[in-house]
Amino acid sequence: MYDGYSSWVEVEHYLKESKFPTAILPIGSVEAHGPHLPLLTDSIIADAIAREVGKKVNAFVLPVFHYGTLWSLKDFPGSTWIKSDTLGKVIYEVGSVLATHGFKLFVTINAHVGNNDAIKEGLRALIKDFPSLNILMFNPDLIFETGRKYIESKPWYKMYYHADEIETSLLLFLAPESVRMDQATKDYPEIPLNFDYKFIPWKKLTKRGVIGDPTLASREKGKKIFEEIVKKIVDVIDKEITYLIESSAKTA
Site for a second copy in 80-139 (CB under 8 A): 80-86, 89-90, 93-94, 97-98, 101-102, 117, 120-121, 123-124, 127, 135-138
The CA angle 100-106-111, to the nearest 5 degrees, is 135
Farthest CA pair distance, the chain: 61
245: closest CA among 138, 137, 134? 134
Per CB under 8 A, does 5 bind a second copy?
yes
Cα 116 to chain center, whole Å?
Answer: 9
Q: Which is nearer to a second copy, 124 or 149 (CB)?
A: 124
Rounded distance between C-alpha atoms, residue 168 and residue 164, angstroms? 6
Q: Nearest approach, Cβ of 189 to a second copy (angstroms)?
A: 17
Q: Nearest approach, Cβ of 22 to a second copy (angstroms)?
A: 14
Work out whether the CA dihedral 177, 180, 182, 185 comes out positive or negative: negative
Per CB under 8 A, does 8 bind a second copy?
yes
Near a second copy by CB under 8 A, which window of 29-37, 48-56, 211-219, 220-228?
29-37
Tell which positions 210-229 bind a second copy, by CB under 8 A: none
Q: Which is nearer to a second copy, 5 or 152 (CB)?
A: 5
Per CB under 8 A, does 76 bind a second copy?
yes
Candidate list 24, 27, 40, 211; residue touching a second copy; CB under 8 A: 40
Contact 230, 184 (CB under 8 A): no
Query: What b-and-e string marks burial along 104-116, b requiring 16 or more CB atoms within 10 Å of the CB?
Result: bbbbbbbbbbbbb
Count residues contacting a second copy (CB under 8 A)?
75
Per CB under 8 A, does 198 bind a second copy?
yes
